[in-house]
């Protein structure tokens, strides 16, 4: 948010001079429903205007950027009631006047609540078009080079680290649509289960739309490396699944280097999580138990749990998750496969630096 505000100041000064309040999109909806200016601390900490330790706006940053504090809304913890539906909003929407509105959270913070990743050691993995690795912490960890997002959690007194991969299941969708559009995803993936770990020396770099974590590089590009005449479609499919898994592991490694030493379990959701073959590859690459849960709409479900805590259905977020979120299956890492991937992962890590200069040149062709 902060760079956008500065962009408006520099490029649209007439608009900047009219600013009286700054709200995130969902908080503008809150304002229209309740007449109150408010933001949750999870979303607020993503503006670059926050003091993570204090869990509130940073006076130092605001002064440095010339942004008045009174432009910004009051901050609240995720389960707190910020306001109530007004009579006018009730008339326009059909909602009941006086209905409490809670602070809530950003999409990934609410997603983590929705799958029960609410304490240190439990990591949420969203395997959608993009891939998100979300780790709850009990203190404000910082990755010194800025390759991980560090935010307040939607849960009072907790924070989180987050890594984002731009083309996770999106890589598989591209591969399917380009090379095997007539096959179902199950038909495409099944033969990959018979290919040994490492796809007999074939690697896939999943940077099809640039990358964010661990390389914030819009000019990064994807690649198959190691293709030989012995490789068939099943090998290429497995290489895609493994390449995404390696790319997601990069976030885990950065989190460990930032001080997150305890990872007991990964709770996976998203379209890619439906594949048992892919789940097994992920468990083997991460060397950690991978669990699916009973909630399929994680972010919306998490927002509902936060609201339930806010109105007293449960005493706190931990209790809400314990009462509603259940494991539906577990995939455990296999010792021999883990050892195999420990040898292959360093080779994958060499791909980006080896290809960086070339792909940057190709982006201009």
Q: Are both 223 and 355 inside the same structural domain?
A: yes
Structure tokens at 52: 């993570």
Q: Are both 58 and 113 inside the same structural domain?
A: no
Q: Are both 115 and 34 inside the same structural domain?
A: no
Q: Are both 122 and 262 inside the same structural domain?
A: yes
pLDDT along the chain (365 residues), means of 10: 96 97 97 98 96 96 96 98 98 97 95 95 95 94 89 96 96 98 97 97 97 95 97 98 98 93 92 95 98 89 97 98 96 97 98 96 91
Q: Say if 327 falls within a structural domain.
A: yes
* CATH number where 55 lies: 3.30.420.40
State the pLDDT at residue 298.
Answer: 82
What's the structural domain count of the chain? 2
Spatial distance between the Cα atoms of 289 and 286, rounded to a whole number of angstroms: 8
Q: Say if 228 falls within a structural domain.
A: yes
Q: Are both 209 and 262 inside the same structural domain?
A: yes
Q: Say if 145 falls within a structural domain.
A: yes
Q: Are both 9 and 46 inside the same structural domain?
A: yes
Spatial distance between the Cα atoms of 220 and 242, rounded to a whole number of angstroms: 18
Q: Say if 307 falls within a structural domain.
A: no
Given 27, 40, 51, 107, the catalytic residue: 107
Tell me which DSSP letter residue 212 carries. Answer: -
The DSSP secondary structure of 71-139, one letter per residue, reads GSPEEE-TTSEEEE--HHHHHHH-PPTT-EEE----HHHHHHHHTT--STTEEEEEESSSEEEEEEESS
State the pLDDT at residue 161.
Answer: 95
Q: Are both 113 and 240 inside the same structural domain?
A: yes
Name the pairing type of β-strands 74-76 and 38-40: parallel
Q: Say if 305 falls within a structural domain.
A: no
Q: Are both 94 and 54 inside the same structural domain?
A: yes
Identify the domain boundary among 54, 72, 102.
102
Q: Say if 311 falls within a structural domain.
A: no
335 alpha carbon, distance to own chain's centre: 28
State the pLDDT at residue 252.
Answer: 96
Q: Say if 314 falls within a structural domain.
A: no
Identify the domain boundary among 102, 133, 163.
102
State the pLDDT at residue 57.
Answer: 98
Residue 23: domain span: 2-102
Q: Are both 56 and 188 inside the same structural domain?
A: no
Q: Are both 120 and 174 inside the same structural domain?
A: yes
Q: Say if 310 falls within a structural domain.
A: no
Q: Is 107 one of the catalytic residues?
A: yes
Q: Are both 139 and 67 inside the same structural domain?
A: no
Identify the domain boundary among 102, 132, 157.
102
Q: Are both 157 and 235 inside the same structural domain?
A: yes
């Amino acid at each position: 948010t902060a760079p956008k505000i500065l962009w408006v100041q520099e490029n649209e000064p007439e608009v900047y001079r009219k600013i009286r309040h700054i709200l995130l999109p969902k908080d503008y909806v809150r304002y229209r429903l309740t007449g109150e200016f408010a933001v949750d601390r999870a979303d607020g900490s993503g503006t670059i205007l926050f003091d993570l330790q204090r869990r509130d706006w940073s006076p130092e940053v605001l002064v440095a950027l010339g942004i008045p504090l009174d432009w910004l809304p009051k901050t609240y913890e995720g389960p707190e009631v910020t306001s109530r539906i007004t009579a006018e909003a009730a008339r326009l929407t059909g909602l009941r006047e006086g209905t409490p509105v809670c602070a809530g959270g950003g999409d990934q913070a609410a997603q983590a609540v929705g799958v029960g990743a609410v304490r240190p050691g439990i990591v949420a993995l969203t395997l959608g078009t993009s891939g998100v690795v979300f780790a709850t912490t009990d203190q404000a960890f910082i990755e010194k080079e800025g390759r991980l997002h560090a935010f307040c959690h939607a849960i009072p007194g907790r924070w989180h680290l987050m890594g984002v991969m731009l083309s996770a299941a999106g890589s598989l969708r591209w591969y399917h649509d380009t090379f095997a559009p007539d096959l179902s995803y199950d038909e495409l993936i099944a033969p990959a289960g018979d290919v040994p770990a490492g796809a007999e020396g074939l690697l896939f770099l999943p940077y099809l739309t640039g990358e964010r974590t661990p390389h914030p590089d819009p000019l990064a590009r994807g690649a198959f490396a190691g293709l030989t005449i012995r490789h068939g479609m099943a090998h290429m499919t497995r290489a895609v699944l493994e390449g995404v898994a390696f790319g997601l592991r990069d976030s885990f490694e950065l989190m460990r280097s930032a001080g997150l030493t305890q990872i007991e379990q990964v709770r996976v959701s998203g379209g890619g999580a439906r594949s048992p073959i892919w789940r097994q590859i992920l468990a083997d690459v991460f060397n950690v138990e991978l669990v699916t849960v009973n909630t399929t709409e994680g972010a919306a479900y998490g927002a509902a749990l936060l609201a339930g805590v806010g109105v007293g259905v449960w005493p706190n977020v931990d209790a809400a998750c314990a009462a509603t979120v259940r494991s539906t299956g577990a995939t455990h890492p296999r010792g021999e496969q883990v050892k195999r991937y420990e040898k292959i992962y360093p080779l994958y890590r060499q791909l980006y630096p080896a290809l960086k200069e070339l792909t940057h040149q190709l982006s201009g062709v």
